[in-house]
Structure 1
Amino acid sequence: MPSLPLLADFSLEMTGRDAPALADARGALPAGTRVNITFLGSEDHDTRIRAARAVVDVGLTPVAHIAARRLASEGELERLLADLQRIGASERVFVVGGDPATPAGPYASALEVIESGLLEAHGVAEAGIAGYPDGHPDIADDALRSALAEKLAAASARGLAPVVVTQFGFDADRVATWIRRTRADGVSAPIRVGVAGPTNVARLVRYARRFGIGQNAMIVRKYGFSLANLVGQAGPERFLDDLARALDHDGSARDIALHVYAFGGLADTARWAARHR
């Protein structure tokens, strides 16, 4: 089975509900592997903290998400950071605006959370920032580029090491083009490219539909299955091989790693990544 170079230092993404699966996944994950913990509106504070603690307990590195527009108050952010610090899980976080159109509290953007000063006050040393190779349905590309630059500058000004983590996508050429442009814009921070881990084909198509019919056609070509037959598993091996070749072609692969979204289950995704390392 061929190895995939981008998996040499991969990270995973899980939800709070995935915490019990860590016991099965840990044997396939190198010690210290980064595990991002999403900030879902359907999960409460205690669920997020328990998940971060579970990641620490199995010898992995937690990266808790902070969704700015889901925070009802400054006090809620302080409580989250304080509890993460208490369990040794505050060194790395990922800060994102979040889905709600109307903020629940004082933070309308990830930038405002970064500029609050609360991150470094609670032991945060690294701030993850979202990247959008496929764009954003509600934000123009120029605005995304400006926002990324502002967040990176704000993190650095606060003494926080920035890391860019992208949404998952299916078009390797588009991702490679975005990486080249981002580097040309002067962004030197590490980039973790999001990819959907191996999962049920029907489930993958459901996720893809969030991006429109064109993306459905894209994953058919890149993942090599038929929409007429949604039985079985689909993995991102073709996408990753194409991306590695595109990046190696012009030396753009510096400080690039993979961030795997565990749509097919945390343990199965971890074992897939281990096999291909």
Structure 2
Amino acid sequence: MTGKDVPALLEAQSAIPAGTRINVTFLGNEDLEMRVTAAKAVKDAGFVPVPHVSARRLASPAQLEEFLAALREVGASTHVFVVGGDPATPEGPYASSLDVIRTGLLPQYGVEEVSIAGYPEGHPDISTPLLWEHLTDKAAALAEQNLGSVILTQFGFDTAPVVEWIDAVRERGMTSPIRIGTPGPAGIKRLLAFARRFGVGANAMIVKKYGFSLTNLMGTAGPDRFVDDLSALLSRDATAGDVGIHLYTFGGLKATADWAAGYRAGR
């Protein structure tokens, strides 16, 4: 959810299981108060807030500490997601999420577990070797600070690169839980727009496998087939370890929660 989504959270509250982790984004057009208010709303509703810390949007170490202190004050600093962020030029001293982690500030403000980003299909602006270097370095830096870690991935429509990537993570000795980014039900045009923005593969063959057609963009698509296929593949992969999904709520919190409840009941 974003800082603007508190009303949507309250609307969806009864449909979301207690204790569910809900990420709170760090957008450039929102301020500290909005982000902290949203994180507090998540906690007050009986869920686990996971506020984002966007490295390249932080103007100074003081701003980082101010944000962490505000989250701690409302009881929302235990879990955070530290990510690089969108700006091409950093707004302050942190060029990457690794830079934030290496400050050593996170545990000082009550952080116990840090989510870090994974990219099964690569990143449009970062080379694959550098992605692997940073992922392994972040996992090591968190372990050195006795912080738990979760690898949370970009969303995708194709299970094949996801499973290959999971195997590559485990081959590198990383045992952190992995949460595979999965688009919740949303309009097909909207899903494809996000895919283009984030460099996610969405050719005709892939989207047909996912369950919709490029020739009919007016409908809504859910991730049933993707989750079924991923589950089947992982059930045969003895080395995959702890793997789950992270739902991106492109179609809204309530629609995503209702889909999850229906999927669970149907399986």
Question: Same fold by TM (over 0.5)?
Answer: yes
After superposition, the CA RMSD in angstroms is 1.4
CA contact (8 A) 2:121 2:200 kept: no
Tell me the secondary structure at the aligned position of residue 77 of structure 2: coil
The residue correspondences of 1:197-212 to structure 2 (distance < 5 A) are 197-210=184-197
Tell me the secondary structure at the aligned position of residue 193 of structure 1: strand
Residue identity matched to 2:196: R
Instruction: Show the counterpart of 2:71.
Output: 84
Give the distance between the partners of 2:213 and 2:154, measured in 1 at CA: 24
Give the distance between the partners of 1:124 and 1:140, measured in 2 at CA: 30
Structure 1 position 222, deviation (Å): 2.2
Give the distance between the partners of 2:195 and 2:75, measured in 1 at CA: 36
Give the distance between the partners of 1:51 and 1:201, measured in 2 at CA: 28
Q: 1:95 to 1:167 in 2, by over 3 A?
A: same
Q: 1:219 to 1:266 in 2, by over 3 A?
A: farther
CA contact (8 A) 2:150 2:179 kept: yes
Instruction: Show the counterpart of 2:256.
Output: 269
Instruction: Show the counterpart of 1:236.
Output: 223
Instruction: Show the counterpart of 2:28.
Output: 41
Instruction: Show the counterpart of 2:243.
Output: 256
**Structure 1 unaligned regions, length at least 5:** 1-13
Tell me the secondary structure at the aligned position of residue 202 of structure 2: helix
State whether structure 2 residue 131 is matched by structure 1 residue 141: no
State whether structure 2 residue 212 is matched by structure 1 residue 225: yes
Structure 1 position 223, deviation (Å): 2.5
Instruction: Show the counterpart of 1:245.
Output: 232
Deviations 1:80-136 (A, max 9, x none): 000000000000000011111211011111111111121100000001100000101
State whether structure 2 residue 65 is matched by structure 1 residue 60: no
CA contact (8 A) 1:209 1:216 kept: no
Structure 1 position 79, deviation (Å): 0.7
Structure 1 position 219, deviation (Å): 4.3
State whether structure 2 residue 175 is matched by structure 1 residue 188: yes
Deviations 1:164-194 (A, max 9, x none): 0001011101101100111111010000100
Deviations 1:24-71 (A, max 9, x none): 212121111000111111211111011101101100000000010100
Structure 1 position 251, deviation (Å): 2.0
For CA contacts below 8 A with separation 6 or more, give which structure has more relative contact order: 1
Identity of aligned residues (%): 57
Give the distance between the partners of 2:263 and 2:251, measured in 1 at CA: 16
Give the distance between the partners of 2:161 and 2:131, measured in 1 at CA: 16
